[in-house]
Structure 1
Amino acid sequence: MGQKITFNLPDLGEGLTEGEVAAWLVEPGGSVVLNQPFVEVETAKALVEVPSPYDGVLAEHHAKAGETVDVGSPLASFEVEGAEAPAPQKEEKRTPNLVGYGAREAGSKRRKRRPGPESPVAPAPVVEAPPAPVAAPAPPPPVPVPAAPAAGPNLGGPTLAKPPVRKLAKDLGIDLAAVTPTGPHGTVSRADLEAFSQALASPGATAPERERPSGEDERIPIKGVRKLTAQNMVASAFTAPHVTVFLTCDVTEMMDTVKAFKARKEFAEVKVSPLLFVAKAVLLAARRHPMINARWDEAAQEIVVKHDVNLGIAAATPRGLVVPNIKAAQELSLLGLAEALGALARTAREGRTPPSDMTGGTISISNVGVFGVDTGTPILPPGESAILVFGAVRPQPWVHEGEIAVRQVTTLGLSFDHRLIDGELGSQFLADVGAFLQHPGETLLAWT
């Protein structure tokens, strides 16, 4: 006789207190094997695939897609057969930190799932002890996950789609349930959505009605990345006294250097952009001014000068603004830095930045220039000492070698924690960043 076990939502990393069920990958009655992802949970930091802790049958969902579940609260129940099923424990609400849920070490590969007796037994989560041994109905028979989804739109049950696809559907005013899925386990892909959109654009096609009537205010729940960002910004703004200084500089040589490096064979597989050289400038300037890479420890009444520069890059994603960071970025070559920036951008856009990359930052960069903005006064990410704003690069009249010429010009802004960094240090640091961008070839040789 199978044993019914309740599985609570674990702490998916860095002390998160809740998660939203983005999509169920296995329906009730479906068979699962150990470590098979059975649900996607969206936290304030990432979209995480939660793996099954058992071989057996997923018996029950305890939340619908779109609902928020507190850490330690029931997420799903499983039917587990045989003597290997863990013994019941008395009910206890806790928040276990299961490290590695939904994440893999760099370079590692996901193991193929193989059902059967060779599968190891997972650690037992919290289970409910029945009040007395009673005859229980036989568990539902295992339902294998289909190799490919049935053709046609979803006629019932939750629609599976990644957050970027959901956002695109919302922007286009398309009901995902009307789209025929072709992705794994019946997931609606971006290609499915684009094909559906093109079909609507054909003569005679009509778009589905929007749920919100025209002229009515839209109310958006504050949750996920938006909620965490708001909390962090309020905490930072009212904790660290912010000061911002600005510098306008001629970056014509930097733009020429970007073009030259794009043509180099060793940089053929990476993206070479102005942001790459801005990041390198920040790292070299931090080496010359170590106090810029520090943290204010209020509890210990100490200033902690950090050895590693964990360089944060503000990224606009479909889930909102996130600031993942590159650990020990000062150790990377220019090519290594380009590779790290590319990997950071890809995982951020996909909503799969691991929680470990979202904490521990020391200095950050916000590239508002990609939006055509000249500069800004950003708020520091909590715990960081400084954030550099890189504005748009524009052709402007500039005095060059005693004459007015059209040059490529940008404006930099540096916001910093005035408890740690006084005006002189902040200005010197920003001036060194500007000096590198004005003459990258000379300063790269002189400072390295």
Structure 2
Amino acid sequence: MATAATVSTLVVGAGQAGISLVTALRELGDTGPVVLVGAEPEPPYERPPLSKSYLRGEHDRGSLVFHDAAWFADLGVELVTGDPVVTIGRDASGGSATTASGRTLTFERLALTTGAVNRGLGVEGADLDGVHSVRTLADADRLAPRLRAAREVVVVGGGFIGLEIAAGARALGSDVSVVEATDRLLGRAVTPVLSDAVLQAHERRGTRILLRSHAVRLTGEHGRVTSVQLDDGTELPADLVVVGIGAAPSTALAAQLGLLVEPRGIVVDEYALTSDGVTVAAGDCAVGPNPFDRGEPGTMRLESVPHATDQARAAAATLVGHPTAYDRVPWFWSDQGDLRLQMAGLPHGADRTVVRGDVAAERFSLLSYRDGLLIAVESVGVPTDYLAVKRALEKGMTIEADSAADTSVPLKRLITRARGTRTS
């Protein structure tokens, strides 16, 4: 028989955004009952190590978990794991959700932090044994022993996750090929200069990069993958294939609620508020206004830990009646073996890129400008540059482009007030 419970706030989705939202609720003084519901059997955990150090055996499972049961008990938060919400409905005063086990949860306030799911390859042979993707801890647990034993690895997709896994496989001694459909690596996220630098760095480490290439068929023997066939007829031997071609936002529950949803996610405003005016959404499932005032206008879906955390805090503030616009400077990082990328701001729409340092030596920064105003930094091996620009952007400051390339002068000494802005 289904059981029922009434809570002040129901948070659906126990990833980075979900755990950040319930934490922020308590930090903002909210004391009402909260239920955090996750589809996975594990308590909320860090996801970034899954494509990097966890695959190499450098983290045990316990070290990934954010908080133990006592933490949730102390905060008055009920954590439900392994029992996803499957149906949901609401009106202006509240609503009701049902989990897969038949449990009913009635609520006054609702937050959707449902995340995203990996896109499938969608070609013949994609269901063969030895074909993997990584998004969850269970995914990483299945892949890790295979990766350590693999001899020939093909990674389909030249985004952050694909390149992180490729770097790990190469470090473990595998022959690695990366198949990317577009004309450059990391094309949706970084400047062409960084794309080219990352490609060369991976090739120096022995990874084969194939741009403008499409996997059209996976072949196997006895149910296990043995090769990847490309659109130009090339056949790449593979005893392991890892697919990293992006993620689709999880919007089914939002659609049930009649919320405005587009292919990129659940539509929210700068306060993380959805189209019904009462439900909030945050993290990988949401698409909203660019939070960076120097970025291109319009809406976007950002996939990163900092974004999920910051947008979830904005959502919590909205729920407690103190709406605060989400306007943080986006920042990201990616560890690809011994290659560490750090980025702040958004380089989209830049009309000038200043190269600072030695690209070939993998110690450089790229500063992006639009109309003479600094809008982003991409650093490899120079964390001081990254931090200087991140802090400058957060304070509404800039660095003159004509001075930025001089590595004899620390960037923090070049920071000046941006015309037409005020410092904070």
Q: TM-score, normalised by structure 1?
A: 0.26
Computing the radius of gyration over CA atoms, which structure comes out larger, 1 or 2? Answer: 1
Q: TM-score, normalised by structure 2?
A: 0.27
The structure whose residues are more often strand, as a share, is 2
